[in-house]
Chains A and B, each alone.
Chain A
């Protein structure tokens, strides 16, 4: 079965600091990769997704992620965080196969940005 690991449970940064959240998955086949964000009191929203093509994908609000197939990784980055980025971030994967459309999520990383 596929699984997703997010290495950091809670990250605390000051505004303008750079962010990198780690995500590794375990599945040897073709995968689709996602980062979702859950702001306090709000529902899950898609930040960005990778299906194929350029392994560097750009999402909303200045976020980007790089798919490195050899490392089974899909790390999320942002050059300069803002207080409004305080949220919980979830990495998710689905693999390209018949009937395999459900998302497998990591445990999430809470990001706290200090003004």
Chain B
């Protein structure tokens, strides 16, 4: 079946511009996660959505970062006033649920963001 998809695959933007990154989770998966993979920091958790519950935003590095998930499916990660340190690969993952039997996270191919 279809996996997690992300768009765009690559994004180059100028410092100070806003960007939107999109994630389409696996159909039927109720949990959705955003991570960031950068050379200096490795893989870092950003935000987590589960069903209709309030998202866990504890990993967002600053208030320039926000995310939403519409209709319990597609998610958009928005970075406002981008900075060079935002350059990274942004990964989306989804899982069927969050119980021990449904917790496995499936990752998308990522969006490589380069801020010039």
- Complex interface bits, B26-39 against A, C-beta within 8 A gives 1, otherwise 0: 00000101010000
For window 12-33 of B, CB contacts with A under 8 Å fall at 31, 33
Among A43, A101, A106, point to the contact of B107 (Cβ < 8 A). A43
In the bound complex, how far is the Cα of B91 from the Cα of A36, in angstroms?
A: 14
Question: Which of A19-27, A46-54, A66-74, A75-83 lies on the face that meets chain B?
Answer: A46-54
Please, which residues of chain A bring their CB within 8 A of the CB of B105?
46, 103
Please, which residues of chain B bring their CB within 8 A of the CB of A42?
109
**New A-B pairs, 20, CB < 8 Å, besides A90-B43, A105-B44, A108-B42:** A36-B107, A42-B109, A43-B91, A43-B107, A43-B108, A43-B110, A44-B107, A45-B107, A46-B105, A46-B106, A101-B50, A101-B56, A101-B95, A101-B98, A101-B103, A102-B45, A102-B59, A103-B33, A103-B45, A105-B42
Please, which residues of chain B bring their CB within 8 A of the CB of A90?
43
- Number of chain A interface residues as a range: 20 to 34
- Residue numbers of A with Cβ under 8 A of B are 32, 36, 42-46, 49, 51-52, 90, 92, 94, 99, 101-108
For window 37-56 of B, CB contacts with A under 8 Å fall at 42-45, 48, 50, 56
